Amino acid sequence: MSQSVLLNIARESIQEVLQAEESIRRSELLENYPILGEVVATEVTLYLNGKARGSSRSDNPEHSLLEDIIFNAKRAAFQDPNFIPISTSEYLHTSIELILFTADGPISHRDDPILKET
């Protein structure tokens, strides 16, 4: 599975809240990528202009990889006590870092903002 699938799940999780509609097709994702059903702890950190804008981490692996990404992406964007909830305009310029805490050690993935700064 490519890192873009994982990062897209994180992005779509935030978009679900901003757009007030469910868009993540959980059963389809689990069918196409069975590894998403494995129990894996994650950390999602949002960056705006290179600075942290929100973060959420699972301390213990309790949920499927899919559910953990969704949960932490939403918490990083809207429930980090160090920041106010992210706005749509901020989100469009935010990059996402996703860390998977695997038995072999942490694996980090990062994407670029949807809209580049001009």
Is residue 14 a part of any domain in this protein?
yes
Q: How many structural domains is the chain composed of?
A: 1
Tokens of 56: 């959420």
Is residue 41 a part of any domain in this protein?
yes
Is residue 117 a part of any domain in this protein?
no
In this structure, what CATH number is given to the domain that contains residue 50? 3.30.700.20
Is residue 25 a part of any domain in this protein?
yes
Check: CB of residue 44 under 8 Å from CB of residue 55: yes
Is residue 118 a part of any domain in this protein?
no
Residue position matching structure tokens 């290179």:
50
Whole-model pTM over 0.85: yes
Is residue 115 a part of any domain in this protein?
no
Is residue 98 a part of any domain in this protein?
yes
What whole-number distance in Å separates Cα of residue 79 and Cα of residue 111?
21
Q: What is the pLDDT along the chain (118 residues), one digit of tens a residue?
A: 577 899 999 999 999 999 999 889 999 999 999 999 999 999 999 999 999 999 999 988 889 999 999 999 999 999 999 999 999 999 999 999 999 998 899 999 898 887 765 4
